[in-house]
Amino acid sequence: MIVKVCGMRDAVNIREVERAGADWMGFICYERSPRFIDRVPEYFPQKVVRVGVFVNAAPEVCLRQAEALALHAVQLHGTESPDCCDGLRKSGLKVVKAFAIHRAEELQITEPYAGVCDYFLFDTPCLQYGGSGRSFDWSILEHYRGSTPFLLSGGIRPESMEALKAFRHPRWEGIDLNSGFESAPGMKDAQTLARFIAECKKTTSINPLNTSTL
């Protein structure tokens, strides 16, 4: 299973979370987020996939930040078009497109993005862009029949483990963790994360993607 930990900012905490076993690490490049990263931290992870999180940023902005932060991937949380995703992908970046899903019929919105994104991320609908810290009804994803693999997001926290163990889908390849493991915005409880990640790896048969495959 891919375990992505998002919203990282602090150099010491980044190192701790890297040691906790995260496969991917997300850095939010959206100025309205309390987890916005406005500079390169003194320590940047070396053993994880580095993902920049953007909201309706122009492709040239994404590419400029990708170079500055040495990103492997971008995660798009706005209304970015399939053409935008395709262009970023052709630049050599992996592309994760986020969708907030409330009802099964809303999964149709993913169809134009098939073939131009490497992953989808399914999250909880909310008024603002980005995550809400709340979970949604994962049974909706039984209706997802696309070929693009996805990450599960939205309010995952330590007590979500039993629900994760019970969840099944042939295209499910990972989880996205953020506020459910924080002591403050951008600061993760690395010890709790380490225990959770170890349990994820024990109880799932999905293989993690590492930087060598990117």
Positions annotated as catalytic residues are 6, 123
In the chain the first and final C-alpha atoms are separated, in Å, by: 16
3-state SS assignment for residue 10: coil
Decide if 158 contacts 181 (C-beta within 8 A).
yes
Decide if 176 contacts 153 (C-beta within 8 A).
yes
Beta strand 150-152 with 172-177: parallel, antiparallel or unpaired? parallel
d(CA 113, CA 115): 6
d(CA 80, CA 213): 25
Decide if 99 contacts 120 (C-beta within 8 A).
yes
- For residue 93, give the nearest of 121, 64, 113, 56 by alpha carbon: 64
∠44-172-119 over CA atoms, to 5°? 55
Task: List the beta bridge partners of residue 119.
Answer: 96
d(CA 75, CA 62): 10
